[in-house]
Structure 1
Amino acid sequence: MSKPFARRLRATSTPAESLLWRELRASKLDGLKFRRQTPIAGYIADFCCYELGLTIELDGKHHAEQPISDAERRTVIESHGFLELRFTNDEVKERLDWVLQEIRRAADIARCRAPRRPFPRLD
C-alpha cells in the first residue's frame, strides 16, 4: 500500500477512528506517539506506535466477512516485529475507556518484549 493511499485514508476517517485519534494524537495517551494510517509490510495500520512496535486496527462490520484475510494481515504485520491490537468500531464508540485501558496494557507488554529485529522502513 502506498503513501498516497494512506493519506487518502487519513482524510476520510470513520467516526470511530476520529474518536480514538482524539485520544491518541499529540502523545495524549501516556506520552505514546501514534501515527495514523501507517504503511507496514504492504498493509496500512489504522494507528501505529512505531517506538513500541504496536499497531491498532479498528474493524467495521465488513471485517466479520473476512476473518482469514485479517488473520493473514496480522501474521504479516507481527512477523515484522509489531504487536497488533484489534477493536471493533462499536467498542471504540461504546467502551472507549476500556479500549484505552487495553491499549495501555498492550503498551506495557510491548515495552517488556524481548528485543526484536529492526522494523522495516514504513514506506
Structure 2
Amino acid sequence: MTLQDNARRLRREMTEVEARLWYQLRDRRLDGFKFRRQKPIGPYIVDFVCLDGRLIIELDGGQHALQVEADARREAFLQAAGFRVLRFWNHEVRANEAAVLERIHQALLACPREET
C-alpha cells in the first residue's frame, strides 16, 4: 500500500474525534483558513494541515504515550520542513473542543497569512 493509498484509507476511516474536529475545520470554517486532512508530508501522514499557515494539527490517542521517541522524530522532520505542530490528546477535544479550536486559531493568527 502506498502512502497515498494509506492517506485515502485514513480519510475514509476517521476516528470519532478526528471527525468531530474536521467538522469544525472543513470548508474554511475557522476564520477562512483552509485545512486538509490525512495529508502526506514527506514520509508521514498528518491528521490536519493548513498549508498557508504552515500549521499541522495532530490528535493523539493513548498509543502515543508509548511512542514518544517516534513522535519526536516525526515532529522534528515536520518542523524542519517549515511547519509548526500542535498536538492535542483525544480527551482534550472531547472535553473542551472550544479551547482546542481557540488554540488552533491563535496559532494561525500568529503567522503571516498568505493569499490563496
SS of 1:111's equivalent in the other structure is coil
Distance between the aligned counterparts of 1:111 and 1:75, measured in 2? 22
Shift of 1:46: 0.2
Query: Superposition RMSD on alpha carbons, in Å?
Result: 1.1
Q: Show the counterpart of 1:65.
A: 66
Tell me the TM-score normalised to structure 1 length: 0.88
What's the CA shift string for 1:67-114, capped at 9, x where partnerless? 1110110000010001111001111111100000000111022328xx
Gaps of 5+ in 1: 113-123
Shift of 1:41: 1.5
SS of 2:57's equivalent in the other structure is strand
Gaps of 5+ in 2: none
**Greater RCO, CA 8 A, separation 6+:** 1
Identity %: 45
Amino acid at match of 1:30: D
Runs of 4+ in structure 1 displaced over 3 angstroms?
none
Shift of 1:2: 1.3
Tell me the TM-score normalised to structure 2 length: 0.93
Q: Show the counterpart of 1:80.
A: 81
Q: Show the counterpart of 1:16.
A: 17
Distance between the aligned counterparts of 2:73 and 2:106, measured in 1? 24
SS of 2:11's equivalent in the other structure is helix
Amino acid at match of 1:15: E
Question: How many pairs were matched up?
Answer: 112
